[in-house]
Chain A
Amino acid sequence: LGIDLTPVLHSLGIPSNQQGRHRVLETFQSPWVETSRSEVEPRFFVPE
């Protein structure tokens, strides 16, 4: 039957409504919550 995905989506930073939806794979810390205890540096670009 699966599970209620609301907390899972929340842990991913995906809001349950459609507002404020942004990409999450670029700041994805780890496939598991337990190993996602610190943020990771995403890609960025600094001009010369």
Chain B
Amino acid sequence: TDQEKMSLVFTEWVKLLQRVPDDDISVVVFIRQMIEKGVLSSTEGMVKFTNAALELSVSSFKESDPTSDVFIATDAFSKLIVKLLILQEFTDMTRADYFKLMISVITMVISEDHGRMREGFNERPYFRLISSLLCEWECVSGHNFIKMGDQQCRSELVEFNFDFYNIIASFLHSTQPIAFPGFSFAWITLISHRMFLPKMLRLPEKAGWAKLVLLFTDLLKFMAQYTKKNDVPDAVSVVYKGALRIFLAVANDAPGFLVENHYELLNNLPHVYMQLRNIILSAIPKNLVVPNPYDPNLVIDDVIGCHDAPTVFYDPVQDLHALKKPVDNYLRIPSTSLQRAITTGIFKPEYQKDNGIGYDTVSVDTKLINAIVFHVGIEAALEKHKTTATAIFNTKSSYYTLLASLLNDGNSEVRFHVVQAIANQLRYPNAHTHWFNYVLKNFFFAEDWGSNKAEIQEIIVRTLLERIVTNKPHCWGAVVTFADLLKAPGASITTFQFIKDVPEVELIIKHL
């Protein structure tokens, strides 16, 4: 049968690679013969061969003595894929489509194995295939494929490089944990693989960032879906531990990625993962020196970094949908009708379950609220840059009043999520942190909330406190803002009733 023939060819390939180094002439000849004899000259042939090679690799893994080298066939297959990508001339099909086809077949094989075997599925050979593929690619692609003698081929490969990683990223997106629970731990190991993650982070022009955010979102969504307040399955706790280490490594190596993508990442991060949230929000651009936030003499207005707006990779305006016009129009010319459109437009059509700290459901569109708050902050910083600081550091400015009206017209739930969204912008010293610090301070001390004042103050204190009583790291902006509330002249917040009502909190605040 065709399957048997393909398996024979692949077996010969595996044997060959064990006998000669991979730059031996016989390796090139073997591949040329494969193509000339028509093994891979049609789409059908490619699909059948990929199928056969993968199934052989997986069964060879399963049948090998676990103490021996169980990945010989798998590694040989990875090497073959890379050789096929660099040695062939692509006339009928682009290199990218060729690679996509192979990956699609691999995806189908995994789907069948995972679907059939259920708990009996073993992710390791598939992990090894992708891992070795990434290693082999790294080897040939070093210094912009300088090892390629043929200049035409070399420039084609340089162009293809982004597609290579993009296709792997798409493969990972489609095999995410929610869809392939039996592949979860291999998946997490792959998205953080040393030959994948740093590459994606540093592709020119941030070309890998969008897909990376997507993959991290897939991870966070999985964690969010299966983290319940009273019961977190052990396996999910292990997932969390892995995610924590990965984010810490990213914060160390590429804090700019977290800085520019905090909005999207936080949209999918469960509220209960407070420390992880803080890790993302505490990321500081490399080489930035940050003054001690606990310095009692610190005045945020004097901090030099506060002049500059942080770079934003994903513009939240895309998430405003129907409210984009009302919000932008309000910012230009505020009106009560626009205000009403916004404050009523933030609700979901129905309740949704949530695992918040202190609440189980949510009826507001938190993602929309995050988008509105962040967008207003971005616009405010732009306004300051175009005109003056007094245009926005002004409780009569439309930027301020938009947010204030959300609090004023909203119920406790709305207020809570708006304040949370504001607190998410209190990060390292920058123009957003600076402005939102101003907003929150003024919200706290404003006299025109009427009977809502105590609740608003309580929500603000709660929001800031929950971010700084956790183990480190703490966001610079959150610490500074809270310190500003404590330092303010007038009645100490320890005299506030809602503080006195909870002795533990009173103690913490007195200590602070």
Contacts and interface: CB of A to CB of B under 8 A. Distances in A.
Interface string B264-283: 00000000001100100000
Contacts of B250: 25
A3 B278 CA distance: 12
A24 B143 contact: no
A8 B245 contact: yes
Contacts of A5: 248, 275, 471-473
Interface residues of B, number: 35
A7 to B, nearest CB: 11
Q: Would you call the interface of chain B mostly helix, strand, loop, or mixed? A: helix
B249 A24 contact: yes
Interface string A5-31: 100110110100000010111111011
A5 B195 CA distance: 26
A25 B253 contact: yes
Given A2-B470, A24-B252, A25-B201, A31 B194 contact: no
Given A31-B242, A42-B194, A12 B249 contact: yes
B28 interface: no
Contacts of A23: 198, 252-253
Given A1-B469, A1-B470, A43-B142, A32 B198 contact: no
A10 to B, nearest CB: 11
Q: Would you call the interface of chain A mostly helix, strand, loop, or mixed? A: loop
Interface in B113-154: 135, 138, 142-143, 147
B189 interface: yes
Contacts of B220: none
Contacts of A32: 238, 241-242, 245
Q: Which of B189, B245, B246, B473 has the most CB of A within 10 A?
A: B245
B249 A28 contact: yes
Contacts of A40: 194
A41 B244 CA distance: 23
Contact of A31 (B143, B198, B243, B473): B243
Contacts of A31: 188-189, 192, 241-243, 245-246
Contact of A14 (B243, B246, B248, B471): B248
A23 B250 CA distance: 9
A1 B471 CA distance: 6
B197 interface: yes
A31 B470 CA distance: 23
Nearest to A32: B242
Nearest to A28: B194
B193 interface: yes
Given A1-B469, A26-B194, A45-B142, A21 B242 contact: no
Contact of B194 (A2, A3, A27, A45): A27
Interface string B225-252: 0000000000000100111111011101
A2 to B, nearest CB: 3
Given A23-B198, A25-B250, A31-B242, A1 B274 contact: yes
A43 B195 contact: yes
Interface in B452-481: 469-473
A23 B197 CA distance: 12
A48 B147 CA distance: 8
Given A5-B248, A8-B248, A26 B198 contact: yes
A4 B245 CA distance: 13
Q: Which 10 A-B residue pairings sit nearest by Cβ, starting from the closest? A: A2-B275, A31-B242, A2-B471, A45-B142, A25-B198, A23-B253, A2-B470, A28-B194, A25-B253, A43-B138
Interface of A: 1-5, 8-9, 11-12, 14, 21, 23-28, 30-33, 35, 40-43, 45, 48
11 contacts: A1-B470, A2-B275, A3-B275, A9-B248, A24-B252, A25-B198, A28-B197, A30-B189, A31-B189, A31-B243, A41-B135
Given A25-B197, A28-B193, A32-B241, 10 more contacts: A1-B471, A5-B473, A12-B249, A23-B253, A24-B249, A26-B253, A28-B192, A28-B194, A31-B243, A43-B194
